[in-house]
Chain A
Amino acid sequence: MSALITNGVAIDDTFAEAFDMRGTALVITADSAKWALQAATTMTGFATSVIACGCEAGIDRELGSLETPDGRPGVRVLLFAVSTTELQKQLQNRVGQCVLTSPGSACYAGLDVGEDRLKLGAAIRYFADGWQIAKKIGERRFWRLPVMDGEFVCESSVAMTKRAVGGGNLLIMGATPQTTLAATEAAVEAMRAVPDAIMPFPGGIVRSGSKVGSKYKGAVASTNHFYCPTLRGAVASEIGPEIGSVLEIVIDGLTSEAVAAAMRAGLKAIIDLGPARGALRVGAGNYGGKLGKHHYRLRELTP
């Protein structure tokens, strides 16, 4: 595979292959930024991969009090799933168990326009056992649920887009685990500034990249042995002797443009850091272009 060398970092002539997803966004507020972040963090926990978590979710960005409906500090979170039914289920369960339960929280639609709408407060209101109150303010409808610290306010519904994309990715390869992690952290930091995109894995990083299938029945995915440095001499490895560690960043976005923008920002950060303190090489995961309709060519995204 030929590589483009930019600032000493090799960029593989390959592409990331991504898939259509259903996506939505919420704005979670609380009396303080600390508790808004706590609710958002809890809600987006165990949401790294649709393979086993049902959805992929993460924090898009923190919001100032002037940016939220109720004038309190907030956090915008994004959720993605493979079907409308699954996204509705995950949304309802996660808001019900993680946001409703968090002190002082409120939950609003973070996406106004989409092909469909998902129930939000309209699904959770029954917790109030008949004491729930609907309030229409302008064109927006809210539910007020009495809870033990006051009231939980939750917008009745939220828009859902069918144009979301999941599975954009970068494979960051370095000489040591330390330099590889430094480059990947720099990329994630830069990608977090891109709106409408999240990196759902821990700290935005995956160390256990997977391939489709397994030698074991029932396992839909297994370790990506082509990129495991400890198997380099035993398999048809994709990495050379100079590579001692590989990390992956997976990107989900409300639009394909958001995924591309995040990948572009990440690539720039990796290249700017250079090979001495960061990555030697950047690649991407794909399935030969046969499974996902979104292809992000690294060469086209390289600054």
Chain B
Amino acid sequence: MSALTFTLRCPPPQRVDLCALTPAQLAGKSLAEIAALPIQTNRAPLCVGDLFALKDGERGTIVFEGGAERLDRLGAGLDTGAIRVIGAVGVEAGRGMSGGALTIEGDAGPYAGSGLRGGVLRIEGDAGERLGGPRAGETEGMNGGLIHVAGHAGDRAGDRLRRGFILIEGAAGDCAGSRMIAGTLAIGGKAGALPGYLMNRGTILLAGGCDEMAPTFGDCGVHGLTAARLLASYVETHSPNLAAAFRQPLRRYAGDLAALGKGEIFSTTT
């Protein structure tokens, strides 16, 4: 059976919250019931059927044909099944995911993968700021799973990352991996200023260098570490380029010594 398909009729007249459109929440619902689900975020009523043309299909696999930067919280809370978006999405795509796969064939707005706990979020375009990061007031960002960004990522990617992998093929903005608690952040392109700002633990790979390294990281020299080989093996299926970078001799910077200082930045630019 083919996938349950939502085809965007027109650009949304307001920001919409699509967190209800996951396989688990749509299981057992008829097409009419799905079309009647409210998705508005202001006082103007808006239902799924107003915005999307629905084509029936298997509930475990969902496709969105057409994207817009106002499609917020798409795939949030996903725990099983697969969602594919042909187009861009708004804020908090895949927030709080604990399983399944969310693929965005376009750009994603800020806070994509915020609080991710499991599953795989794949963004084939660029990601906005605070990729995988926590909302204001939350103490932890991403806590498991994997995010792969084929393009670039905005500022503070991996903010308060605690567990899991964030793989960015392109460049990243300032303060990538800020306040990291643990986990792994790999950046294929150039990172902005101050990567690893106030990180406690965790690993950041800079395969393309950075604009400015914080003075609170200590240069530990160039090494070929077994741990980097393990990381390379794990990311190989998602990103051969980043796996290759992990296999190179890497300069290890320990830090942030202004915080706990048990984190590390690996740089291929030795």
Contacts and interface: CB of A to CB of B under 8 A. Distances in A.
Partners in one complex: yes
Interface stretch (A132-140, A158-166, A264-272): A132-140
B225 interface: yes
Contacts, number: 45
Given A133-B262, A135-B203, A136-B163, A106 B226 contact: yes
Contact of A144 (B182, B184, B227, B234): B227
B230 interface: yes
Contacts of B184: 135, 137
Contacts of A70: 226, 229-230, 233
Interface string B225-263: 111011111100000000000000000000000000010
A150 B225 contact: yes
Contacts of B264: 133
What's the interface size class on B, roughly? 10 to 19
Nearest to A155: B230
A153 B262 contact: no
B63 to A, nearest CB: 28
Interface in A112-139: 133-138
A144 B220 CA distance: 15
Nearest to B223: A150
Contacts of B226: 29, 70, 72, 106, 150-151, 153
What's the interface size class on A, roughly? 10 to 19
A interface SS class:
strand
Contacts of B201: 133
Contact of B229 (A71, A134, A136): A71
Interface in A65-87: 69-72
Nearest to B164: A136
A142 interface: yes
Interface in B166-200: 182, 184
Interface string B202-239: 01000000000000000000011111011111100000
A142 B233 CA distance: 14
Given A70-B230, A142-B230, A150-B223, 5 more contacts: A70-B229, A71-B232, A135-B203, A135-B227, A137-B231
Interface of B: 163, 182, 184, 201, 203, 223-227, 229-234, 262, 264
